[in-house]
Structures are given as structure tokens and as C-alpha cells.
Structure 1
Amino acid sequence: MTGQRRTSMADVAELAGVSAQTVSRVVNGSPRVDPATRERVEAAMAASGYRVHRAARALRTGRTGVIGAVVSTLATVGNSLLLQSVVDEASVRGYAVAIARIGAGGPAEAFDRLREQGVDGAIVVNEASALLRDVALPADLRLVVVDSPPDERYPGVATAHAEGAALATAHLLDLGHRVIAHVAGPASSYAATERERGWREALAAAGCEPGPVMRGTWSSASGFDAGQQVLDAVTGRAAVTGVVVANDQMALGMLRAASERGMSVPGRLSVVGFDDVDDAANYTPALTTVRQRFDVLGQRAVAAVIDGADAGSRQVVDAPLVVRASTAEPATS
């Protein structure tokens, strides 16, 4: 493997101590390779400088080794984390990812752009799923949709948003809170709607009326604005003592609003977020939150689009509660 000669599969096989057929399976994203062997082959590919020749693979397998990701925005933390997990899992399986953002031409234009790149299928991410409800889907493009209501037209992968929000609300109820507010995400978001549903259902099951609802845009700035309204309710007649916030970024804004008002969290107000982003443990105070398992979502979405999943099938990923310092029993006075 010296000079200018292109590294071959045989070279990789020799270095990894496997057969050339095993290397071929790894290159072509076959699930018939155990994880330890796949990791050894990928390490050998990296060490030897082997590069997949996508045009040759397309001729051999009928696949280009590229999958698409359709998004409505790249600005939200949730979208970024999910896309990262999609790219990571696709790479493990020898695939590249082409991203198409939905613009003025709607989903159809995004699908056309992906067709031009010869993708083997596409994953529609989060908020973009709402734009599929009233459009004809491309019959020639395999789709998997992340975070969408059940739909017989395509397979779906989703977080258990309602169940996660219910866990967050039940946690506050168990601590003794009885007036619990909610900072919701955008009304057009499936995830936001489901999280609000989980909050409402947990309160109803406990015989509690819903506290006030404010709506944000997933950003910390919108959480700060909503936080001002929640904090007014803390000192007002509603006597709010806890709040379930639909994502960690808005919860960060809520914590800032409380700090600027001189209101202790969790002394006067307990706050729960949603997502468990890496920084959540380093908020002040460390944020109690619901964990979205973005790595699992990405793995299952990539597997569904590469291996093929039945239209109408649905995989739901659990969302566990992570208890930290931002929640406590309500103050007694």
C-alpha cells in the first residue's frame, strides 16, 4: 500500500484479518456484520486510506450510498442533534448524507433536489414532517419520517414525547406541586403538541387543573419572555410553583428570567426541561429534564431507510426523566 496505487478491498481485508466479502458487506452497509468486526474493518479502512468508490458501488448494487435528510430549519438544537446522529450512523454503515432544506417550493422541491443527487432514500426530520400532511409523497423515493403522527403512507420513528412530559409533570406532583405551568413549543410542532398533551394528562390523572400555558419558539430568548409571564403567576393569584418547559433551551431562558427577578430555583419555582442537551447538567442550577435519545432515533431512522421498513410501521423511543437540582418540594410560605 505504497506509492500511488489505490487501496483495494483486498488490502483492507488483509489489514483487518477478514475476508474481502466481509469488507464488501461493511462498505455496502449490510447488517450481516457483527459490530466488533465492522469496527475492525472501518479502522483498517481509515488506516489504509481506503475510500468508497460510490459510482462503482451504484453500478454494482443499484444504490448510490447516499441518503437524504429533509429539514425545515437547521437552527434548532433538536434538529442539529438529530442530524448529527443520522450522519454518524450513516457513516458507520458506509453512507453519506445529503441535506435538503424546505424552502418556498415546499417539500416537493426538496425531494426533487435529493432525486438529482440520486439518494437511496430520505429521512424527514422533526418540524418538516408537518409539511407532509397535505402533499402527495414521491412514489419513487423511500421515506422515513421522524416525529410525526402515525401515517399509513410511510414508516415513522418518534420519541415518546407525551410520556416523557407526563413523567416530568408526575415528578413535580410527587414533590407536592399542585399548580404547574407549561412553556410549550410552536403550535405547528408535533413534538410540542405531544409534550403539552402529556403535561395535561398527568395533571388530569392527579385531579389538578392545568396551570397557565405560554408558547415559545424553542429558543432561549422565547423561554426568557415566557418566563416573565410564569414568574408573574408565581407571585400572583395562580400561585404557580412548578413549570414543565418543552425544551432545554427555553428552560435556560426561564432560569435567566428567574435569576434577574431574584427568584430562587428551585426555592420558589421548580423547573423541568426536555431534551437533556449536553449543557443541561451545567445550567445554574443543573436542570432536571427529560432525555431525548437522539442517538437511538438516528440509528433507527437510518436503519429504516437503508434496510427498508414497512409503510405505516412505527418505532417509538422512550424518553426517561433525569432528576437534577432544579426541582424540589414547593416552599411552605
Structure 2
Amino acid sequence: MSNTTSTSNGPVTSGENGADGGQRRPSMADIARRAGVSSQTVSRVANGSPQVVEATRLRVLAAMEELGYRPNSAARALKRGDFRTIGVIMFNLSTTGNMRTLEAIAASSAAAGYAITLLPVAAPTRGQVEGAFTRLGELAVDAVIAVMEVHLLDSTSMVLPPSAHVVVVDSDADNSYTVVDTDQADGAGRAVNHLLELGHRTVHHVAGAEESYAAQRRMSAWRETLRRHGREVPAPLHGDWSADSGYAAGVRLAQDEGCTAVFVANDQMALGVLRALHEAGRHVPNEVSVVGFDNIPETSAYSPPLTTVHQDFAEVGRRCVEAAISQLHGRDTQHGRDLVPTSLVVRQSTAPPRGR
């Protein structure tokens, strides 16, 4: 049995029982009858075609709303040859940088008319990464943005849809992939140069996780900048990006009376360094200057407010999506590296050393 509503364009049946006893979803033909147009016109409206008079488009949309019509996205994807979806594979959702990059990717994708499908990788193992790529292939995506270290990608047998493309974020990938990244070396160089220009004889370094490409690039640039200026290169200390690991490094640095300046590979570890120096009675910045990296929103609320290297996560996300869509449309067939510039934000955690 069905419920029938009469209109000037004839009866329209809605809520008709299907073979499984449930209600039948309204079809394009139902919408066409209700709006008094052809099914082809309904199809054009559903697909966003500009070749429909505005008054007609509004009438069709009203009919869709009234009958609860939802376009079949799978059928539309088959007809267009794409899914309007970008897959995102990401390891370590807990870091501020990754979350801000993901937020920017989602916003840029939505602005371009794409959805995203996120698959977090719980552990950086070959099986986990392979499984994520395979799953994205099953979910039907047009491109993949991978926010993870490239050695994980190189160790996998990537199972992707034939038309899919890969953009890698924050990686030392070769020409096998398009890479979008912050200019890590430029940012670290800015931090070290700032401290040397203040008059510090050398700069100590708290590096990030040893397996991290970003940590390696920042540490290499720190070392190269000191050598270029003919300065002593202290042995670096390694953390794992957490404030706790920064605190442990800060405890050791506080015991070194010759330490007057520290470049820390991220802001969270810098927070730990500040706490350790404070507890040891080493005043920042009068006795020790500290520079971080990332410019997370909380840095202006540190005590003292932290001088840090600004990463433009929004721009990184925007360029990732732009690169993926350019590949989809055949506008970018050359893999390469797109580096987003950094800037130094000077606050109250840095000053000339005593006696200057």
C-alpha cells in the first residue's frame, strides 16, 4: 500500500514499500513529476550543472527537499569517473602540527568541493600502512595525502585505485611522490641566527625524535649554521616531541653553566625546557635564551612568552589539496617538492647574554 498526494502535475507516490518491507526512496522520476520538469533537468540540478534556469533549479530543489530525495553519490561518481573524495593517512594524531595540518586539509578540501576520508595509522609498521592504503582503495578515493615519514611509504606495497595520486607531507620523499613541506632548514637557520645575532657564543639543541625527517632537517640546519659562523657545535640532546622529554633535556642543560642559548625542535619540548630551567633557578632569558619551533597558539601564554619559528600549517594543507587536485585534472604531472616558508616570531624568551 502507498500514500498518494495529488498535485496539479499528477499524483506523486512517496513512502512506497519496497521488496524488503521498507519505504522506497524517491527517485528522479518522482522529483520530475513533483517539479513538473524532465528527469534530465533533475539530473542536471543534482549534478550542479549551470545549464538550468534559476527558477527551475529552485523548484527542483524544493521538490527534492519535500520528498526527502538524496542523490546517489555512488552512481554520480561512476558517471563522472571520480569520487570527489581525498583520502588522508596520518600517523600520530596527538601532535599539534599533525592536527593543524589535518584541519587545513579538511577546510581546503571542502572549499574545493571534496570530502576527506581519514584513516589514522595506529603504529608506524609496514602492515598498518599497507592496510590503510588498501582500505582507502576499497573506500574509493581519487587521491591520497599521506602525513607520515616516507620510509613507511617506501616499505609498503601500495594498493591504490588506478587513477589515485599521492601527495606526501613533511617527508624526505624522492621524485616518486609530490611533497609539500615546511621549509625545515630555513626555520632552524632563522632560530640559530637570531640567537647568534643577540651575541650568544653558541647554541645548544634539543632535537625531536631521531627517526623523524623534520627533526633531522632541523638538527642538520642547526649544526650547519653554527659551523658556517665558526662556532662550537655542542652535542645535541634528543626528545620525542613531548613536553616531558623536553623537561628531561632541560634538566641536563640547566646543569651546564656554559649554556646560554637553546634551540628546541618544537614548542611542546620547549615548554618542558622552560620548566626545568625555572626549577633549577636559571632565569629565562637573562641567563638562558630559548627558541621553539611551530608557533602553536599557547606559546604566547608561556612564561615567558616563547620566541619560536612559525609554521604555516594552513598553507601546507592548502597546497596539499591543490597538488592532489592538480594531479587529478592532469595539470601537474611532475613530482616535486613544494616548500612553505617560515618566519620567526620574537617574544620574551630570548635576550642578549649577560655582559652584552
- Runs of at least 4 residues off by over 4 Å: 48-53
Aligned equivalent of 1:296 = 315
2-structure distance, mates of 1:179, 1:227: 17
Aligned equivalent of 2:265 = 246
2-structure distance, mates of 1:50, 1:321: 52
1:162 aligns with 2:181: no
Q: Give the C-alpha shift of residue 136 in structure 1.
A: 3.9
1-structure distance, mates of 2:285, 2:69: 54
Aligned equivalent of 2:253 = 230
2-structure distance, mates of 1:25, 1:154: 34
TM-score (norm 1): 0.81
Aligned equivalent of 1:131 = 152
Partner amino acid, structure 2, of 1:72: F
**What is the Cα-based RMSD across aligned positions, in Å?**
2.9
Aligned equivalent of 1:108 = 130
Q: Give the C-alpha shift of residue 147 in structure 1.
A: 1.4
2-structure distance, mates of 1:50, 1:84: 30
Aligned equivalent of 2:277 = 258
Unaligned runs of 5+ in 1: 9-19, 27-47
**Secondary structure of 1:24's aligned partner:** coil
Does the 8 A contact of 1:221 with 1:253 survive in 2? Answer: yes
Does the 8 A contact of 2:86 with 2:144 survive in 1? Answer: yes
Q: List per-residue Cα deviations over 1:45-78 (Å, max 9, x = no partner).
A: xxx9998863343133222122111112111111
1-structure distance, mates of 2:206, 2:189: 14
Aligned residue runs from structure 1 range 69-218, under 5 A: 69-102=88-121, 103=123, 104=125, 105-125=127-147, 127-138=148-159, 140=162, 141-218=164-241
Does the 8 A contact of 1:287 with 1:326 survive in 2? Answer: yes
2-structure distance, mates of 1:79, 1:158: 12
Q: Give the C-alpha shift of residue 211 in structure 1.
A: 2.0
2-structure distance, mates of 1:53, 1:300: 30
Does the 8 A contact of 1:71 with 1:128 survive in 2? Answer: no
Aligned equivalent of 2:244 = 221
Identity %: 41
**Secondary structure of 2:255's aligned partner:** helix
Q: List per-residue Cα deviations over 1:210-229 (Å, max 9, x = no partner).
A: 12311111111111111111
Alpha carbons of structure 1 residues 213 and 93: separation in structure 2 relative to 1, 3 Å: same
2-structure distance, mates of 1:56, 1:326: 58
Aligned equivalent of 1:35 = none
Alpha carbons of structure 1 residues 138 and 196: separation in structure 2 relative to 1, 3 Å: same
2-structure distance, mates of 1:253, 1:88: 32
Does the 8 A contact of 2:134 with 2:158 survive in 1? Answer: no
Does the 8 A contact of 1:187 with 1:193 survive in 2? Answer: yes
Larger RCO (CA within 8 A; separation ≥ 6): 1
2-structure distance, mates of 1:152, 1:66: 24
Partner amino acid, structure 1, of 2:247: F
Larger radius of gyration: 2
What is the total number of aligned residue pairs between the two structures?
A: 295
Does the 8 A contact of 1:130 with 1:190 survive in 2? Answer: no
Aligned equivalent of 2:297 = 278
Higher mean Cα deviation, 172-181 or 88-97? 88-97
Higher mean Cα deviation, 217-226 or 141-150? 141-150
Aligned equivalent of 1:267 = 286
Does the 8 A contact of 1:130 with 1:188 survive in 2? Answer: no
2-structure distance, mates of 1:241, 1:91: 47
Q: List per-residue Cα deviations over 1:218-269 (Å, max 9, x = no partner).
A: 1111111111111112x2xxx0110000001111111111122222110111
1-structure distance, mates of 2:181, 2:171: 7
Aligned equivalent of 2:343 = 320
Partner amino acid, structure 1, of 2:298: D
2-structure distance, mates of 1:276, 1:111: 32
Q: List per-residue Cα deviations over 1:161-211 (Å, max 9, x = no partner).
A: 011101100000000011211000011111000000111111011100112
Unaligned runs of 5+ in 2: 1-13, 15-25, 32-43, 51-64
TM-score (norm 2): 0.76
2-structure distance, mates of 1:60, 1:311: 28
1-structure distance, mates of 2:251, 2:76: 57
Aligned equivalent of 1:12 = none
Q: Give the C-alpha shift of residue 291 in structure 1.
A: 0.6
